[in-house]
Amino acid sequence: MYEGPIIISLKTSIVSTIIVSILGILLANLLLKKEGKLKNFFESAIMLPLFMPPSLIGYILLMIIGKRSFIGSFLYEYFDFTFIFTWYGAVIAAVITSLPIMYGSAKGALLSIDDTYKEVAADLGATKFQTFYKVTLPLASKGILSGMVLSYARCFGEFGATMMIAGNIPGKTQNIPMAIYYAVERGDSSKANFFAVVVIIISTTLIFIYNRLLKENK
């Protein structure tokens, strides 16, 4: 009975972290050397969820991908697919809320790299992709990994936006934060305590990993 929320939380967090890591790295690299109003617009859009209540993020996502939205109705009518009340919706909510963290970490890691390394790689005949894959990413790996740990922690603890999009369906979309909330609401202290211990163990592990990465990055 208790394993459902744990499996859903782990599954959602892992998939979300993979997606948000790829997006964060690509966006940071794409906007790194750009200047002007367009860059400011995109960076503001990326960072906006960091300053918004999660419930508002969930509401906006409902307006964009809900069954009554253009995208949502199209997917449902032609593909019989919906993000609403599914763990796919929970993944989208987690990606949106954690993207600012991953983007900021990836941007900081990429900015810390001396351009000389890239210039040498280019002089040796490496393409932009080869330089990015074989030079830039390895040099920025510690900072990127730190961002991935923080993003995973954010995805794992996501509640508000996920509740709006995926709902609280036991065995389907109910993650650990939801399980704790509803256990407390029903007065089921043993269940709430169990999940609280699970969260503390996972959080402590993530903090340990993050601190190790910070020390190695110095």
Residue 103: its pLDDT value, please?
Answer: 96
pLDDT at position 216 over 80: no
**What six digits make up the tokens of 218?**
């110095």
Residue, of 24 and 125, whose pLDDT is higher: 24
Taking alpha carbons only, the member of 91, 100, 104, 46 closest to residue 65 is: 91
Query: What is the rounded distance in angstroms from the CA atom of residue 11 to the CA atom of residue 3?
Result: 12
Asked if 95 contacts 16 with a C-beta cutoff of 8 angstroms, the reply is yes
The overall average pLDDT reported for the chain is 90
149 with 210: CB under 8 angstroms?
Answer: yes
Task: List the chain domain ranges.
Answer: 3-54+86-217
pLDDT, mean of residues 45-69:
92
User: Confidence class of residue 102 from pLDDT cuts 50, 70 and 90?
Assistant: very high
Phi, psi at 196, each rounded to 5°? -60, -40
Structural tokens at position 167: 């709902």
The predicted pLDDT at position 3 comes to: 85
Q: pLDDT by residue (tens digit) across 13-40?
A: 999 999 999 999 999 999 987 888 888 9
**Topology of the domain comprising 3-54+86-217:** MetI-like fold (1.10.3720)
